Amino acid sequence: MKGNFQIIVLVVFISAAVLSIFVFSGAIPLGGKDVTKAQGTVVLWGTVKATVINSLLEDFNRVNPTFVVKYVEKSPDTFDKDLLESLAASAGPDMFFITDDLAFKYNNKIFTIPYTSLPITSFKNTFVSAGEVFLTSKGILAFPLAVDPLMMYYSRSMLDANGIAYPPIYWDEFPNLISILNKKDEKGSITKSTVALGQFENVIHAKDILATLFMQAGNLIVTEKDGSFMSVLNKNNGKYDLGSILKFYTDFTDPLKDVYTWNRSFSNSRDAFSAENLAFYFGFASEFQSLVNKNPNQNFLIAPIPQIRNNNFKLTVGHVTGIAISSFSKNFNTAFIASSLMANSDFASKFAISLGIAPVRRDLLAVTPTDAYLPIFYSSAFFAKSWLDPAPSDTDEIFKVMVNKVLSNSLSVTSAINDASVKLGLLLFKKI
């Protein structure tokens, strides 16, 4: 009996795998008669508002009438707990939206799509680099849908008032800008700051900014081989010394440096920017509307994240959302086909636009939207990249300690990076 069941599962998988190859190659039209083997209802979990997803699923389900995808909205505060408990009980959803910072945690509960189903060359030809966070040596953890790139928001009013025509393209332009944009009171205290760098606690997205700098220097932070993940945070690639990268960051909060522009006493960087006391704020594309709402009268614009001069590539950190298939799905064939189609249909485009971010598919990014700000998000999505964060709250602490050890002179920049790499390695001590 057990042998027969395994044969049935294998046949179902092979059928779905072959279909997936045809879908991604464009051989099978979406919603056509060739997907009629997908039957019944599959359940999708996520934290996106149901009012947003249900309207997208109405169109998707109408185009694919042989099956139904039903969405269940979960609270962001309890999603992780609810999902773990449901999967542990072999219950829960057939599919779920997953972000790059949860992929590692759930890799042994996700059906890993083998490359015989979706070849790695097809994947890379379909999706930009940001989606590759879901790639492992054994297969694909999720079908990528959208990417939220880290951007540079800047106060047009502050730049105009100081005769600065354009925002910086390279990191090494900031020292000159600081001497122009920093404003001080009669006591010499900074009242208006150029950029929020150097500290950790009051720099929103400090870990992502540091990760961007490290990755622009060629460091992958985490790598995987044969199912084992390891930290490479302390590995130099020969061109850049990572210690100098960390020192570049921390120097912005050193009162003895010419680049001093930020300190622990300031409010957090997002609030300072909205209060028009900060010229540049590094935030994600998804924050645009909330920044508008926070100060509707603020005159700000958006630019790509600065780069290291003379690099032969561009990079910004991006958070990726994909659709993962539960290993415990009771309707695996339909879940597999549905998730493939959702990633390869206009559902992916509508999903990204509804969140105010960019799709991950190359063909969708090639079509420039007419919205005033989406084009800049789309262009950054082409060079966005993520890393497999094993535990976001734990790595926040690791990066915070790394920065604070340097600021307190407890460790040199090299020792602080080595210390952080060891701690990160302990978190990654796990097999797929």
Q: Is it the case that residue 204 has pLDDT exceeding 80? A: yes
Give the least confident one: 21-25, 44-48, 308-312, 397-401.
21-25
Residue whose pair of structure tokens reads 């999708």 in the numeric block: 44
- Percent of the chain exceeding pLDDT 70 equals 91
User: What is the pLDDT at residue 430?
Assistant: 60
User: What is the pLDDT at residue 84?
Assistant: 87
The model's pLDDT over 275-294, given as tens digits with 9 standing for 90+, comes to 999 999 999 999 999 999 99
By the 8 A CB rule, do 221 and 398 touch? no
- Binned at pLDDT 50, 70 and 90, residue 172 comes out as very high
Mean pLDDT calculated for residue range 270-278: 98
User: What is the pLDDT at residue 432?
Assistant: 43
The model's pLDDT over 74-84, given as tens digits with 9 standing for 90+, comes to 999 999 889 98
Mean pLDDT calculated for residue range 417-431: 89
User: What is the pLDDT at residue 368?
Assistant: 86
The model's pLDDT over 208-221, given as tens digits with 9 standing for 90+, comes to 999 999 999 999 99
User: What is the pLDDT at residue 36?
Assistant: 54
User: What is the pLDDT at residue 24?
Assistant: 53
User: What is the pLDDT at residue 29?
Assistant: 38
CA distances from 148 to 68, 81, 316 (A): 28, 24, 10
Same fold for the pair 2-148+319-370 and 149-317+388-427: yes
CA atoms within 13 A on the CB side of 389: 23
Q: Is it the case that residue 12 has pLDDT exceeding 60? A: no
- Binned at pLDDT 50, 70 and 90, residue 35 comes out as low
Q: Pinpoint the alpha helices (H) of 139-193.
A: 156-161, 174-181
- Binned at pLDDT 50, 70 and 90, residue 377 comes out as very high
By the 8 A CB rule, do 30 and 338 touch? no
- Binned at pLDDT 50, 70 and 90, residue 314 comes out as very high
First-to-last CA distance in the chain?
29
Residues ≥6 apart with Cβ < 8 Å to 392: 101
User: What is the pLDDT at residue 16?
Assistant: 46
Q: Is it the case that residue 351 has pLDDT exceeding 50? A: yes
Q: Is it the case that residue 19 has pLDDT exceeding 50? A: no
If phi over 0 gives left and psi between -120 and 50 gives alpha, with beta otherwise, what is residue 26?
A: left
Mean pLDDT calculated for residue range 34-55: 88
Looking at the domain that runs over 2-148+319-370, which CATH code has it been given? 3.40.190.10
- Binned at pLDDT 50, 70 and 90, residue 4 comes out as very low
By the 8 A CB rule, do 239 and 221 touch? no
Q: Is it the case that residue 431 has pLDDT exceeding 80? A: no
Q: Which residues pair with 133 in a beta bridge?
A: none
User: What is the pLDDT at residue 239?
Assistant: 83
Domain ranges of the chain: 2-148+319-370, 149-317+388-427
CA atoms within 13 A on the CB side of 394: 14
Class for domain 149-317+388-427, per CATH? Answer: alpha beta
Q: Which two tokens stand for residue 196?
A: 């929020």
Mean pLDDT calculated for residue range 300-322: 97
User: What is the pLDDT at residue 43?
Assistant: 97
Q: Is it the case that residue 385 has pLDDT exceeding 80? A: yes
The model's pLDDT over 242-255, given as tens digits with 9 standing for 90+, comes to 999 999 999 999 99
Q: Is it the case that residue 391 has pLDDT exceeding 50? A: yes
Mean pLDDT calculated for residue range 308-313: 95
User: What is the pLDDT at residue 31?
Assistant: 39
- Binned at pLDDT 50, 70 and 90, residue 370 comes out as confident
What is the Cα–Cα distance from 282 to 174, expressed in whole angstroms?
Answer: 14
Q: Which segments of 5-129 are extended strands (E)?
A: 40-46, 67-73, 95-99
Higher pLDDT, 359 or 431: 359
